[in-house]
Amino acid sequence: MTAPLPFPRWFVARIFAFTLTLALTGALSPSAHATYSGPVPLPTDSFGGRGPYTVTTRTLPSPGFPGRVVTIYSPLGLSGPRPTWFFSHGFGGSSPLLYDELLRHWASHGWTAVFAPYPVDGQPTELYTILNDGFVAAATQYPDLIDTRKVGFAGHSFGGGATPPLALRAVRERGWGAEGLALFPLAPWYSHQLSNQDLASFPSHTQLVMQVYDDDVLNDHRMAIDIFQRISIPAANKEFLWVHSDQINGYLYAAAHSVPTGAEQPLGERDILFNALDAWAILRIGQALAASSWTGDPTARNVALGHGSAAQVQMGVTPGGRALRPMTSTLVPVPAFPQSRYAFPFTALLNPRRGESVPVSTGTQLKNLSVRAYSGSGDATLIVGASVQGDHPKSLLLRAVGPGLVNFGVSGPMADPLLTTYRGTTIDMINDQWGVGDPDMLEVAFAESGVFRFAPGSRDAALLGSFAPGGWTAHVTPATGSAGIALLEIYAADSDFTTRLGGLSARGWVGTGGDLLIAGFVIEGPAPTRLLLRGVGPTLAGFGVSNTLVDPHLTVFGTAGSIASNDTWQDNTSGAALTTAAAAVGAFPLASGSRDAALLLTLPAGAYTLHLRGSDGGTGIGLIEVYVVP
């Protein structure tokens, strides 16, 4: 064997700690179901629910990993060889405990699952041989359990990258999968021994689901995209699934690199709990993929290869009716995050496929939106509405800054902002102190978005999540203490231009001096963007808002100073065009003869600021709106 693969020290340390804990507790073999956590329950339908068969395990010595065993999961009460999953674990995860719930799930539905371990030293090609030899040994020793005519190859991380080459070797050398071949790579690492000619030679009946995770900071999603776009099987037989992070009732569903789990974790780490991400995205999809590939079940095919069907992308619903963020399904995946996010970027020398091209998303979008205003409770609450345009969720970073404003010379900031997002009147996500959520992932998003860092332990609030197409609102209120100046920021946290921030509306108190309602936005991309900008006061009274700003004045600023301003929208020579643009973006019409303000501008890429004040020095509730006009 040669030198170990260069995984980050924190990753190796975690694996070492886990292995040591297993040794100390004696938990060396799978035994019972893991404890399920979180507010979203397990699936109970025919896909994802636990199967009817009791599961048994047996072992044989690993032919290439002395002192370790290959583990075979199989159902009791069934005779004859069964269609079989061959699973390749992540680097260092050589105990089947790490993937026990997944392996047990497959066997409970009447199939066999084989787990072959490999060591942490050796080159990838050597480790591939150890995996291959373990699978062959299991099939040779247990032909009564394993039907090699119908097989699936699945794997996580290093094992995910190994999945396609191992499957192709089994097809070429042994004729496996002649009556059904399924591939299920999860967050794959680099794939070795896999040329473009190899990817073009998979049997046409191969069915593939490639799966990646929002908050993975280990393996660049470009590895998965590269393999997915070049494997030459019918488009109907493949699917790229993106699993999103979410927060429900304070429980964080972190779609991180460690998602494929399914065992009672001795370390008790937050991000490796067995929950709905595993049950709905992995157990359910893997089971459906097997049934589709091996039996031709059309219902199973709609779940595994539904190309965005509701049955496919759903992730479960709490008893109270809150749905977990659905997965994104696509046949044309593009990278959503920069390579700098990952410990193992696509262009690293370790990647033998680093010279291949990966598609990128191009276009123009509102990169970020921000609003600064005096905010309190009730009518004084700073409320921002925004929308996502496109056919799949967009990763957004939201921040409610109070204490952090002191460093910028802002007087009277809100001491303890509470950030709450709503879908309609239902709370979606909530955060009081940014360090209580997932601070490590938030720090990554801060750096990628180019925003200032929060002080450790500060009472500023932040959320990172995938927001589905459509509208939603964010509220900033005092969690404790009194009202004050707050800054609400919304950043497009991905570089996928096929889905965009479509607009912003911010309602807040408009005062005098430094208490104006101020909104900022950044346009990113090569093409100028047509925008509808409005400052609304009088028309709000028709929606039951009291104490509105009587005579709003709206000014837009660029880096060189004032660009345009408006006091009364119908005094603008583009009054008719303003009405047409409002209808095009779904904005409510301004009252005829009102003193509301509006502008219709085409602006190039850059940063801009909107100021809303009272023309007559008056104060009251005002609304700033920014819309991208089609």
| Structural domains of the chain in order of their starting residue, each with its CATH number | 9-26+54-341 (3.40.50.1820), 370-383+393-465+472-497 (no CATH), 511-630 (2.60.120)
What is the per-residue pLDDT for 268? 42
Identify how many contiguous H helices and E strands the chain contains and give both numbers. Answer: 12, 27
What is the per-residue pLDDT for 261? 61
Q: What is the pLDDT of residues 313-322, one digit of tens each?
A: 999 999 989 9
Helix, strand, coil share of the chain (percent; to 5): 25, 30, 40
Report whether 454 contacts 462 (CB < 8 A).
yes
What is the per-residue pLDDT for 30? 46
Percent of the chain beyond pLDDT 70? Answer: 93
Higher-pLDDT residue of 75 and 498 is 75
Closest CA to 490 of 470, 479, 475: 475
What mean pLDDT do residues 583-590 have? 90
Distance CA 172, CA 197 (A): 13
523 Cβ partners below 8 Å, 6+ apart? 364, 365, 366, 367, 529, 603, 604, 605, 606, 608
Q: What is the pLDDT of residues 406-431, one digit of tens each?
A: 999 888 999 999 999 998 888 899 99
Q: What is the pLDDT of residues 448-479, one digit of tens each?
A: 988 999 999 999 999 998 888 888 999 999 99
Burial of 97 (0-12, 13-18, 19+ CB in 10 A): buried
- Label residue 392 by pLDDT band (50, 70, 90): confident
Distance CA 34, CA 267 (A): 14
What is the per-residue pLDDT for 502? 82
Paired with 532 in beta bridges are 600, 627
- Label residue 272 by pLDDT band (50, 70, 90): low
Asked if residue 1 has pLDDT above 50, the reply is no
What is the per-residue pLDDT for 622? 92
Judged by average pLDDT, the poorest of 35-44, 68-77, 191-200 is: 35-44
Average pLDDT score over the chain = 89
Distance CA 321, CA 265 (A): 29
What mean pLDDT do residues 586-609 have? 91
What is the per-residue pLDDT for 307? 96
Paired with 56 in beta bridges are 74
Q: What is the pTM of this model?
A: 0.88
Distance CA 235, CA 207 (A): 10
Distance CA 406, CA 590 (A): 37
What mean pLDDT do residues 72-97 have? 93
Kindly state the tokens that stand for 158.
Answer: 């290093």
What is the bridge-based pairing of β-strands 238-243 and 470-478? unpaired
Residue 196: enclosing H or E segment and its boundaries?
A: helix 196-199
Asked if residue 532 has pLDDT above 70, the reply is yes
Percent of the chain beyond pLDDT 90? Answer: 64
- Label residue 262 by pLDDT band (50, 70, 90): low
Q: Helix, strand, or coil here: 517?
A: strand
Exposure pattern of 456-490 as b/e (b: 16+ CB <10 Å)? Answer: eebbbbbbbbbbbeeebbbbbbbbeeebbbbbbbb
What mean pLDDT do residues 354-371 have? 87
Asked if residue 399 has pLDDT above 90, the reply is yes
Ramachandran angles phi, psi of 102, nearest 5°:
-65, -50
Asked if residue 326 has pLDDT above 60, the reply is yes
Distance CA 33, CA 264 (A): 8
What is the per-residue pLDDT for 504? 85
Q: Residue with structure tokens 């937050």?
A: 270
- Label residue 110 by pLDDT band (50, 70, 90): very high
What mean pLDDT do residues 564-569 have? 91
Asked if residue 174 has pLDDT above 60, the reply is yes
DSSP-H helix ranges across 268-342: 276, 284-295, 298-304, 310-313
Burial of 156 (0-12, 13-18, 19+ CB in 10 A): buried
Kindly state the tokens that stand for 532.
Answer: 């509808």
Residue 171: enclosing H or E segment and its boundaries?
A: helix 158-174
Asked if residue 29 has pLDDT above 60, the reply is no
Going by the DSSP 8-state scheme, the letter that residue 609 receives in this structure is E
Asked if residue 405 has pLDDT above 80, the reply is yes
Closest CA to 272 of 253, 250, 248: 253
Highest averaged pLDDT of the listed ranges 48-52, 187-191, 479-483: 187-191
481 Cβ partners below 8 Å, 6+ apart? 414, 415, 416
What is the per-residue pLDDT for 360? 86
Asked if residue 14 has pLDDT above 50, the reply is no
What is the per-residue pLDDT for 6? 57
What mean pLDDT do residues 24-45 have? 69
Q: Helix, strand, or coil here: 518?
A: strand
What is the per-residue pLDDT for 82? 97
